[in-house]
A = this chain, B = another copy of it.
Amino acid sequence: MTLPRIAVDAMGGDEGVQTMVSGAALARRRHDKFKFLLVGDESRIKAALDAHPNMRGASEILHCEDVVGGDEKPTQALRRAKTTSMGLAVGAVKAGDAGAAVSAGNTGALMAMSKLALRTMPGIDRPALAALLPTLGDNDVIMLDLGANTECDARNLVQFAVMGAAYSRIVTGREEPRVRLLNIGTEELKGTEELQQAASTLRAATGLSLSFDGFIEADKINRGTCDVVVTDGFSGNIALKAIEGAARFVTDLLRSAFTSSLRSKFGFLVSRPATELLRHHLDPNNHNGAVFLGLNGVVVKSHGSATAAGVANAVDVAARLLENELTQRITADLAELGGTRLRTNGAEGEAA
């Protein structure tokens, strides 16, 4: 099969063209069959490509000068979808010129542009932002939604479960990824009505390629006992950032503890391989690449401050999702779930 190209918004993000191009080149070493469409200022992209001769042959440049600002409102950015590097990268996916777009730019703008250009898949009401988080287990856990939808109904949550499971099958290789709904307790009657309805639909659903294991509390997300954590965008964003902040808090404390005395400093130096391992495990660059699931095409958001290695991971996510035909998998799973049943459950939810 001919693999679709990956469009890279070379201008988005805080680190500039060099980092985006180097990241794509790094990713290409792991996926050497992929070709790229690099969108942005031609002369700067060409200069960046000088350091990556192999990448040059695999890349086409789509020139543009306009860039979406980091603080720009999505509605404003939308108006410049046809002139900005972000808009053109997403547009290439819409036109079939590329299978996936990767951008390190403004998340809200990327979401708005992607929704408008690519539309949601049949059977999906709203796309969701999904990311991989480190765990104590063998695989990363997928959490979604992380902020695309502030409020979600039961039907949205069930669709997120199906999409997250399709993604997790690619990541973990499990036939039936273990899915849980994020809640403030594990008892059946805990949490909001939306959560209880979503749980009851997932419990009753048969033929889904996932194992629904009920609710999970936020302190268990990283334990490695669950493959997909489903939540609304508000709670998901709170949980994600709380985890990031707490991890940074602990490592900051650790650093100051280790430098508090000469003895500690010495101990720190001796055990540096251990602390390096910790740093590697917690480095957000190693988990970079959040995916907008549920669109007719793959869109990956790289962290704005990601390094070249981080960008490479985001491009890697795009490549793996294309190789494994994520979009087609989700379509098949949705057919399995049965549009009718899901719709009925959603309607009941709204009536209640």
A residues near B (Cβ < 8 Å) are: 134-136, 147, 150-151, 182, 184, 191-192, 217-223, 233-235, 237-254, 257-258, 260-261, 263-264, 266-275, 277-278, 281-282
Contact = CB atoms under 8 A, between A and B. Distances in A.
Contacts of A245: 218-223, 243, 246
A192 B267 contact: no
Contacts of A264: 270-271, 273-274
16 contacts: A192-B234, A218-B239, A219-B245, A222-B245, A222-B246, A238-B238, A238-B239, A243-B243, A246-B246, A250-B250, A250-B251, A254-B254, A258-B271, A263-B273, A267-B270, A268-B271
Contacts of A244: 219, 246
Contacts of A274: 254, 257-258, 260-261, 264, 267-268
Contacts of A253: 136, 278, 281-282
Most buried by B among A217, A219, A252: A219
Given A219-B241, A245-B246, A250-B282, 17 more contacts: A134-B249, A135-B249, A147-B184, A218-B237, A219-B244, A238-B239, A242-B242, A243-B249, A246-B246, A258-B271, A261-B273, A261-B274, A263-B270, A267-B267, A267-B270, A267-B274, A270-B270
B250 A247 contact: yes
Contacts of A266: 270-271
A340 to B, nearest CB: 31
B243 A257 contact: no
Contacts of A252: 136
Contact of A234 (B191, B260, B268, B271): B191
A237 B248 CA distance: 20
Contact of A242 (B150, B221, B234, B273): B221
B249 A136 contact: yes
Nearest to A265: B271
Contacts of A242: 218-219, 221, 238-239, 242-243, 246
Contact of A257 (B135, B247, B278): B278
Nearest to A182: B238
A337 to B, nearest CB: 27
Contacts of A273: 260-261, 263-264
A140 to B, nearest CB: 13
A253 to B, nearest CB: 5
Contacts of A192: 150-151, 234
